[in-house]
Amino acid sequence: MEAQRKLLNSPERCVDEALSGIVSCNGGLALLRGHRVVLRSDLGALKGRVALLSGGGSGHEPAHAGYVGAGMLSGAVAGGVFASPSPGSVLAAVLTLWQAGASGVLLIVKNYTGDRLNFGLALEQARSRGVRIAMVIVADDCAFTHLSKAGRRGLCGTVLVHKLAGAMAERGCSLDEIVAKVTEATKGIGTLGVSLSPCSVPGCLPTFQLPPGEMEMGLGIHGEPGIKRSKVASADEVVKSMIDHMTDPSSQSHLSLKSGDSVVLCVNNLGALSCLEMAVVGRAAISCLESRGMQVARVMSGSFMTSLEMAGMSLTLMRADEETLALFDAKTTAPAWPNLSTAALSGRNCSIAPPENVSASEEASDQEGPLSDVMRKVLEEICTNLLKQQEELNALDRAAGDGDCGNTHALAAHAIQEWLNSHVVPGCPGQLLSSLAVLVQERMGGSSGALYSLFLTAAALPLRGYSHPAAWAEAVHAGTEAMRRYGGAEPGDRTMLDALCPAVEELKKLSSAPSGGTMAVLQKAVEKAEQGAESTRDLTAKAGRASYIAAERVTLPDPGAVAIATILSEAELSARRRDGQTNGHLAARSQPAEQMEFACSHVVCNWMPDRTPGLYPSLPSSLSGGASYRVSGRPQSICDHDYDNRISVIPQPDPPLVPPPLPPRQNSSKKQPRPRSMPPPVPPRGQEARGETPLRANVNVVSLSVGRLVDISRATAIQSSQNPVYCGKCHGAMSTLSTLKKMVWCCDFCGKENTISSTDSGVKSSARRPLPGRDVLYLSQELDGDYVNLEDMLVVFCVDISGSMSVTSEVSAGSSVRSPTYVSRLQSVQDALQRSLSSLLQTSPHRRVALVTFNDEVTVYGDGTGVPLTLRDWSLMDYDYLKKQGESYSTPHCIAESIHPLTQRVKELCEHGATALGPAALISVAMASRYMGSKVIICTDGRANIGLGELEQSAGQTSTHSPYFYSQLAKEAADSGVIVSVLTFEGTDCRLAEVGRLADHTGGRVNIVNISTVSTEIQSVLADNILATSVTATLLSAEGIYFPYEDESSHKLVREIGNVTEGVEITFQFAVKPDSIESFQRRDRIPFQLQLDFKTRELQKVTRIITDQRRVTSSSWVWAGSLNMAVLGVHCAQLCARLTMEGRIVEAQKQLKAQQDLLKDISEQRPSPKEESIYGNWISTMSVICDDLTGHSQRKQDTRELMASQSSPVKGLSDEAAKVVYQLKRAKSVGGKKQASQPLGL
């Protein structure tokens, strides 16, 4: 942990430089030469009056030098940071004041031992020299209920004593009178503080540690311990708790207050609270005091006695009669004393009524019109999609603003939704826009609220009494001009205008009769808006908060422009739905993100295995610009291609030609620039060099966001406690698409006629909706086993402590790892584990955590409270014995109880010996298997070289049982609902391709870390919680469909998924069998059904059934413009990675090349910056694995040797390549929509 950064020149000189700065900034102050003493510059004004002197350690500024001035202190003595001033400096100050003609000197001292001793010594020395002097000790701390001999500490109440004594001295009161008054006043002063963070002396570490999410009450201003720590609560709760404690009669340090008492309230910032927080605290304190019947006479809020940069505050209360208030209100020139009003606070009205009709919105007419329903639907769609896009807009805004663009638009969306629920939508569009303008102004807030309100207000006028297209064109133009006029921005300034203005220019065509009709203009306007929003990525901001950010840091689209594009897109889509023009393109856009998402709007069926001529439609001229290939003697564009339709895969008999060497791959840790054009094509593979027809990509792909589908807490599906009705032949389920005639259901997928009994679950002939819906959750009433609370799950840290973990690396300047400069791998893991334990203590205090280490032997520390279990020698080769030991090992204590012994175990680890990774992983999984949802986190830097799962140094000598060991262990972990994640260190060769199976099969993470990132990666792993276990996905379609690479004989595909965490996404590709093409082309739609069976975290069995239909086409006119490239990209990444891990590397290369050809062709024929960005992002990712695959092929002398490596088909992959492959198997699209601005989520 490094010392807190501070804006100083030198820790040693900071006090002297600060005092010099205070004096330099205030003409009424001066320094006493040779001492850290600040005095009034008009010492002559003290003649015949009592001089007041106070002081203490520095670090509490503005105390005490800030209170030197007429009407307060005559001088202040400063010590070092948090150190009492020296007696010599105090004496020098006293003598200076006395010799200036003061009638006496009063020392005002906080009750700290050092201050009392040093000021007391100076007092005695001055008194021996004839100085008339006295001292008042201020002890106002209310923290401790039982007082020690030291008494109460002196805190911020000292500042109030300064003010009272200073006013009396200014009046000319005698020393005895002042002492008597302030001594009595101190009995009615009490202070209590609360801290959210520690403070640190310059050049030193923090004075104490405060875990995240906790606060400490009653601490001293130097960081001395308080009375209790607790979870951070709301401001109202914290203030109430403080005042309750301060006034508790059972406490020996309480402040006696009763109903009717008049008090002065001081809300003191201890250093780092924002002014916003201080205002909230002040409100809470006044409200709390008034609720007790007390009269709050005065309030001072600000920084009066701080504790360096401590985030916290203190409350000081002082009983105040009229005389005390008079002294408190007396004038002073002290620079740190606030200029307060003398008006009474309690009982006054704090608000002023505005003039009538200023904030009231224009009353909308109750009369609906022909457009009321349409406008309601449009607004509902816009609001829904803005809420879905909230986090995306926030993320875009964080790059160049305050990160609240999504939140701001969500405020407007919620406000409009509420308004729609309680108001009639007027038939006049102008009247509606006026109402929305006021609503947005009041509820949205910020500059966005003002701009939208300006737009709506200006746009309302042309729509008063009109609703024809020309009026709408004039309205949007008027609104845009108002935004430009008052906002000061222009197109090109990287604002929302960059999306709005191009769309408005297009909408101007509505003023005349546009060719293609109104819908064509609307669609073109949306395209212009989307292109404009995407163009802001390359613009330099010239308006708004983003204009203050360096241009090189602003690389994402402007969030305001993206929001405008979303609004226009949803408005156009709603209009199309009403107009009945929801074609394939729109259907693909409107497909719910949480259901099945298809890469193409239609089922494309025009292919034949032998590429028979005549079955392909001629290519439209508009699509003829793409690359072409010669098939059966004629040119053919990729967009009019035959698909991946091979029924079987036959390895090439000859070895592939070795491609030319590729340039070395760049370090993956460096940020790749966003491609401005398509990346270069992959070097030709062997079959192309020989003139063979290259493989074509399949666009019949469906993507399933399984992570969202199994999260039933967020599901919008219909819920049912009944059982589905299944077909007796293909097991397809009845749905709302089914036809039921006289209780006979003809299966939509296989055609079998099923007789349905009237008692069958979910089917009631008398019901209004007798058939299940398109999306239904069937919830079992029984739990599959005993209920397990996820809070009781186990986290097992399985840590390598072999000799190689002693290798050190230099820590960069920004690293979170503690000193020294060079840190070993084990030290970085120890630091990461300690951070993770502290984090778990805060977030999941009931969770169990265990530690397992391995070198020559495996040591099970468990929760650190018991005697460690050590396993060595023969036991490391006995699978059943290790498993039994793990299953029987108890971890009885949660992290809240075991944090200290477990942390100590982690600190004591030292590196030596070999690497028994396999046995350690086995016993860790066995321990975790007792609790569903548990996690095993393996952190290693070397190959397993002892015990089960041993991996020899030579690739050709790998034990044949090793792959099966890791596969078997992964299956057992997945069956038990355990997630295993594997982290290795960069620069090592751990055979990640083998060990990574543990994570691949269980839903865990595979990654390569370094000493600076291991802590962050472990935190990410801890955040991955299981949403469901035993997940099985079944995809059915009509007979005639098959699934290439998976099940090529059936129209039903079953895939075992296992554990599912948030974000898991899987894809399927399907195709039409050759003998079914003709019949499919005569069909209008093809049914698809997803059956998702799983167990929730509560062990409830659930079946989710989603049924959909897709249109059929053989025309590239229809499908070429509707491809969802993100779905295609995810599918290609997952498919290529899976083929690679199965050893089918040549096929993976062909698939990659086919996808690149398809995407390149579409990009040329249908240019779109957004789509090109999607292409560029995932192709860039795929190029990494392509390079590794090519290099792997070069190292093989014979393809047959490559394909025959059945024991370990990927043993030749480097750890870096294996990491990429495993991560690509889990590739997913980012967020609910497929985003163009970000690469695939890996």
Q: pLDDT by residue (tens digit) across 590-647?
A: 333 446 788 777 787 754 433 333 333 333 333 333 333 333 333 334 343 333 333 2
User: Bridge partners of 981?
Assistant: 937
With CA atoms as reference, report the closest residue to 83 among 54, 118, 53, 38. 118
Q: What is the DSSP letter of 198?
A: -
> What crossing angle do the helices spanning 87-99 and 113-127 adopt, rounded to 10°?
40
1149 phi, psi to nearest 5 deg = -65, -40
Please provide residue 986's backbone torsions phi and psi, each rounded to the nearest 5 degrees.
-65, 150
Task: Give the pair of three-digit tokens for residue 71.
Answer: 């009407």
Asked whether residue 814 falls in the same domain as residue 918, the answer is yes
Residues above pLDDT 70, as percent of the chain: 77
Nearest to 774 by CA among 596, 637, 910, 988: 596
CA dihedral for 638, 639, 640, 644, sign (positive or negative): positive
Q: Which of 1085, 1113, 1141 lies at the terminal end of a domain, its last residue?
A: 1113
132 and 230 belong to one structural domain: no
Q: Which residue has the tokens 């009026």?
A: 471
- Please give the full DSSP string across 672-710, using - where no structure is assigned: PPPPSSPPPPPPP-HHHHTTPPPP-----EEEE-HHHHT
Is 626 domain-assigned? Answer: no
Q: Is 57 annotated for ligand binding? A: yes
What is the pTM assigned to this prediction? 0.49
Q: What average pLDDT does the segment 43-48 reach?
A: 93
Count Cα neighbours of 581 within 13 Å in the Cβ-side half-sphere: 12
pLDDT at 1058 over 90: no
Question: Which of 65-69, 216-220, 647-651, 807-811 is modeled with the greatest confidence?
Answer: 65-69
Asked if 456 and 553 sit in the same domain, the reply is yes
Other Cβ atoms closer than 10 A to 1089: 24
The single-letter DSSP state of residue 733 is: B
Q: What is the mean pLDDT of residues 342-360?
A: 70
- pLDDT over 90 at 298, yes or no: yes
Q: Supply the pLDDT for residue 772.
A: 60
Q: Which residue has the tokens 């065509």?
A: 509
Residues 87 and 117 in one domain: yes
Among 141-155, 1157-1171, 1189-1203, which stretch is predicted with the lowest mean pLDDT?
A: 1189-1203
Mean pLDDT of 117-124: 95
Tokens of 687: 């079959």
Looking at 236-245, 436-445, 1030-1039, 1189-1198, which range is the least confident one? 1189-1198
Partners of 109 in the beta sheet? Answer: 137
For 47, the token pair is 């003649």
Pairing of strands 104-110, 133-138: parallel
Over 80: is that where the pLDDT of 260 sits? yes
Are the C-beta atoms of residues 310 and 271 closer than 8 Å to each other?
yes
Final residue of a structural domain among 125, 147, 182: 182
468 and 394 housed in the same domain: yes
Is there a binding annotation on residue 1183? no
Residues 152-181, mean pLDDT to the nearest whole number = 96
- Cβ partners under 8 Å of residue 559, min gap 6: 393, 394, 396, 397, 401, 405, 406
**Do 1100 and 1197 sit in the same domain of this protein?**
no
The residue among 680, 690, 682, 695 whose CA lies nearest residue 657 is 690
pLDDT at 148: 79
Q: What is the DSSP letter of 71?
A: T
Q: Averaged over 87-107, what is the pLDDT?
A: 96
Q: 442 or 1156: whose pLDDT is higher?
A: 442
pLDDT-derived band at 960, boundaries 50, 70, 90? very low
Instruction: Supply the CATH number for residue 468's domain.
Output: 1.25.40.340
- The identity of residue 1040, as a single letter, is G
User: What DSSP line would sit under 618-671, residue for residue?
Assistant: PPPGGGTTS-EEEETTEEEEGGG------SS----SSPPPPPPPPPPPPPTTSP
Classify residue 967: in a domain, yes or no: yes
188 is in an annotated binding site: no
Q: Is 945 helix (H, G, I), strand (E, B) or coil?
A: coil
Q: Which of 756-765, 813-822, 896-905, 1171-1180 has the highest mean pLDDT?
A: 896-905
Lowest mean pLDDT, pick from 32-36, 672-676, 1057-1061 = 672-676
pLDDT of residue 520: 79
Residue 856 and residue 869: Cα distance in Å, rounded?
14
Give catalytic residue positions: 222
Neighbours of 141 (CB within 10 A): 28
CA dihedral 486, 488, 491, 492 (to 10 degrees): -160
> Distance between alpha carbon 541 and the CA centroid of its chain, in Å?
25
H/E element, 249: none
Ordered alpha helix ranges (H), 100-174: 113-127, 157-171
Decide: helix, strand or coil at residue 1127.
helix
CA 1070 to mean position of chain CA atoms = 35
Same domain, 806 and 780: no
**Residue-range definition of the domain harbouring residue 81:** 14-182
Q: Is the pLDDT of residue 4 over 80?
A: no
Burial of 495 (0-12, 13-18, 19+ CB in 10 A): buried
Q: Is the pLDDT of residue 1003 over 90?
A: no
pLDDT mean over 1076-1100: 86
- Angstrom distance (rounded) from CA 856 to CA 568: 65
Residue 958's pLDDT band (cuts 50, 70, 90): very low
Length of the chain: 1242
- pLDDT tens track for 673-714: 333 333 334 444 444 444 455 677 788 888 888 888 888 776
348 within some domain = no
**787-801, 1020-1034, 1090-1104: segment of lowest average pLDDT:** 787-801
Residue 741 marked as a ligand binder: no
Buried b (16+ CB within 10 A) or exposed e, 100-114: bebbbbbbbbbbbee
Per the prediction, the chain carries an average pLDDT of: 79
Backbone angles phi, psi at 1038, to 5 degrees: -70, 155
Q: Using a CB cutoff of 8 Å and minimum separation of 24, what contacts does 345-350 make?
A: 345/286, 345/296, 345/297, 345/298, 345/299, 346/286, 346/290, 346/294, 346/295, 346/296, 346/297, 347/295
Q: Is residue 434 part of a domain?
A: yes
Please give the torsion angle defined by the CA atoms of residues 56, 58, 59 and 63, in that order, rounded to the nearest 10 degrees: 50
The answer to whether position 362 is within a domain reads no
Question: How many CA atoms does the CB half-sphere of 593 hold within 13 Å?
Answer: 17
Do the Cβ atoms of 693 and 634 come closer than 8 Å? no
pLDDT band at 1075 (very low <50, low <70, confident <90, very high): confident
The yes-or-no verdict on residue 900 having pLDDT over 80 is: yes
Question: Cβ(210)–Cβ(195) under 8 Å?
Answer: yes
CA–CA separation, 558 and 356 (whole Å): 39
Q: Are residues 65 and 199 in the same domain?
A: no
Distance, in Å, from the CA atom of 1215 to the CA atom of 1221, rounded to the nearest integer, reads 10
Tens digits of residue pLDDT in 484-520: 888 888 888 888 899 999 988 888 887 775 655 677 7
Q: What does the pLDDT read at residue 322?
A: 93
Residue 449 near residue 498, CB atoms below 8 Å: no
Q: Report helix angle 405-422 to 446-460, nearest 10.
A: 50
Pick from 937, 734, 960, 768: nearest CA to 852: 937
**pLDDT confidence band for 522 (50 / 70 / 90):** confident
Q: Which two tokens stand for residue 994?
A: 């083998």
Measured between alpha carbons, how far is 252 from 1 in angstroms, rounded to an integer? 39
- Give the per-residue pLDDT at 623: 30
Residues 1151, 1056, single domain; the answer is no
Q: What's the per-residue H, E or C state across 255-270?
A: CCCCCCCEEEEEEEEC
Looking at the fold, whether 472 and 449 belong to one and the same domain comes out as yes
Task: Say if residue 779 is in the same domain as residue 884.
Answer: no
Residue 212 binned pLDDT confidence (cut-offs 50, 70, 90): confident
User: 363-408 pLDDT, tens per residue?
Assistant: 445 567 777 888 888 898 899 888 888 878 887 887 666 678 888 8
Tell me which of 534 and 982 has the higher pLDDT: 982
Task: Compute the distance between CA of residue 252 and CA of residue 227 in angstroms, rounded to an integer.
Answer: 14
CA distance 104 to 871: 80
pLDDT score at 266: 97
Contact 694, 1154 (CB under 8 A): yes
Of the listed ranges 104-118, 552-566, 658-672, the one predicted with least confidence: 658-672
Q: Is residue 25 part of a domain?
A: yes
Q: Which of 161-170, 327-336, 1115-1124 has the lowest mean pLDDT?
A: 1115-1124
The vertex-630 CA angle with 629 and 636, nearest 5°, equals 60
Tell whether 971 and 1033 lie within a shared domain. Answer: no
Lowest pLDDT segment from 196-200, 358-362, 709-713, 1007-1011: 358-362
The enclosing domain of 727 has a CATH number of: 2.60.40
Q: Note the Cα 1043 to chain centre separation in Å.
A: 37
Domain-embedded: residue 983: no
Compute the Cα dihedral for 245, 249, 251, 257 and give only its sign. positive
CATH number at residue 19: 3.40.50.10440
For 192, 288, 328, 982, 1042, the CA distances from 268, given in Å and listed in that order, are 10, 17, 17, 49, 73
Which span out of 191-195, 964-968, 1012-1016 was modeled with the highest average pLDDT? Answer: 191-195
What percent of the chain lies above the pLDDT cut of 90?
A: 36
Neighbours of 61 (CB within 10 A): 19
* Domain count for the chain: 6
Cα separation, 668 vs 37, in Å, equals 59
Find out whether 66 and 54 touch, Cβ atoms under 8 Å. Answer: no
pLDDT at 206 over 70: yes
58 is in an annotated binding site: yes
Q: For residue 1071, is it within any domain?
A: yes
pLDDT band at 102 (very low <50, low <70, confident <90, very high): very high
